[in-house]
Copies of this chain bind each other. A is one copy, B any other.
Amino acid sequence: MSELRQDPTTREWVIIATERARRPHEFVRDKETPRNYPLRDPKCPFCPGNESETPPEVLRYSKPGTKEWQVRVVPNRFPALSPKGTVSRRTEDSLFRSMDGFGVHEVIVESPLHNVSIATMGYSDVELVLHAYRERFNALKVNPNLKYITIFKNYGETAGTSLVHPHSQLIATPVASHEAKRKRDTSAIFEDDTGSCLYCHLIHTELMMRKRIVEVTDDFVVFHPFASRSPFETWIAPILHQPSFALAPEDKIPALARVLRDTLKAIATVLKDPDYNLVLHTSPTDDEYDHYYDWHIRIIPRLTTVAGFEMGSGIYISTALPENTAAFMREQISASRRVKNAAGAQALTGA
C-alpha cells in the first residue's frame, strides 16, 4: 500500500503512491529531446560577440592572459525585481499589502559555448560557475534589505526556460516565504531539542542506512530524500557541517564541481537527458552564522506534472520510492563504470 512520509526538514507530508508507482526504468524517457544546437548562435544574447545585448556585466571571469570570458554574470534584461525602489509596505483598503518590486535578478552565463551544459562541461569550468555563485551571493548578502537569495537553474523547456545557452539565475528578494521560514524554524527547534544540526543528523543517518544513497565522495553525499516530492529528486550535501554555501571552505569547490558535474551527467545518461530544475538551498542571509542549517543542492528532474491536488492541498504525490530510484541510479552508474574500466583495461593492455 501507499505510504505517507513526513519531510523531516519541512514537516510537510508527501504521498508515496505505490499503487500507481512506476518502476525506476519506466521513468527513462522514450527518446531524448533532440538538443542539437550549434556551438555558437548569432542570435543568442549570451554568445560571445553579443555582449552588448545584455546589461553591463557585474562579474566576469576571463581566461588568464586573454580577453576571452569564461563566465559572465549580468543583470536580467527582463528582471522580476530591480534594485530601484524601497521595501516600505503599502496597504490598500486595509487588506491588500504591497511593496515595490525591490530586489536583484541576475543571470550567470556558465560558458561561452552555446551548446554545452554542466553535465558535459569540464570540471574546472564548473568550478568557475560555483565561484560565480559564491561571489555574487557574498556581494549581495551585505544589503540588509535582501532577505533571501535563491540561486537556481532551469534546464529545458518543461523546466521553465526557453534559452538554450547554459545559464543559471539568482533572485534576491526582500522577503522570505513561509515555507522557507518553517524550514528554518524546524531546524532551529531540532537544534534546541538535541543540540545537533538537523541536516548533519539527516545526512549521517542516510550514510548509516545506505538505502537512499547514490554516491559518496570524501566531502559530499548524493542521495534521494526520504520524502521526495517527485521521482528522482536528488540532493547533493556536504558531509561535514557547513551552514552557508557562500562561507563554505573554498578548497572544497573543486570537489563540489566534480560531484555536481558527475551527478548531472549520471542523470542525463540514465534518464536520457531530462529537463530539470536545480536549486541551491543555503541559510537565509540573516542567519548565515547560525549553526542549525546545512546548505545543499536539490535537483528535480521534470518527469511528472504537478496538478490540481498538489495546488489545492499543498501535499505532493510521488510515484516512486526513493529507495528504488537510488538503487537504480547506483546500479546504472556502477554498470557504466564497469564498461569504462573494461575499456580502460583493454586500452592499457593494448588489446
Contacts and interface: CB of A to CB of B under 8 A. Distances in A.
Interface stretch (A110-118, A134-142, A147-155, A259-267): A147-155
Given A13-B177, A307-B159, A312 B99 contact: no
A287 interface: no
B161 A307 contact: yes
A182 interface: yes
A172 to B, nearest CB: 10
B175 A314 contact: no
Given A160-B307, A160-B308, A3 B100 contact: yes
Given A169-B308, A312-B150, A8 B96 contact: yes
A4 interface: yes
For chain A, give the interface size range: 35 or more
A81 to B, nearest CB: 6
Interface in A1-57: 1-6, 8, 10-13, 15-20
Contacts of A15: 80-81, 101, 173
Interface string A98-112: 111110000000000
Interface in A274-313: 277-281, 298, 300, 305-309, 311-313
Given A148-B313, A313-B171, A8 B177 contact: no
Contacts of A80: 2, 15, 17, 19-20, 309, 317
Contact of A19 (B3, B82, B161): B82
A156 to B, nearest CB: 10
A346 interface: no
Question: Among the interface residues A84, A101, A309, which one has the most CB atoms of the partner chain B within 10 A?
Answer: A309
Contact of A11 (B93, B158, B178): B178
A340 interface: no
A277 B2 CA distance: 24
A79 interface: yes
A205 to B, nearest CB: 5
A180 interface: yes
Given A101-B1, A180-B314, A317-B80, A95 B205 contact: yes
Nearest to A315: B177
Contacts of A3: 98-101
Given A80-B20, A314-B179, A97 B150 contact: no
A351 interface: no
Contact of A209 (B93, B201, B208): B93
Given A84-B1, A279-B311, A313-B150, A19 B173 contact: no
Interface in A71-90: 78-82, 84-85
A226 B318 CA distance: 31
A174 interface: yes
A178 B308 CA distance: 17
A202 interface: yes
Given A1-B84, A16-B101, A277-B307, 19 more contacts: A2-B81, A2-B100, A4-B174, A5-B96, A10-B178, A13-B175, A17-B80, A20-B78, A93-B208, A95-B201, A152-B309, A159-B307, A160-B306, A169-B309, A173-B315, A176-B313, A178-B182, A178-B314, A277-B311
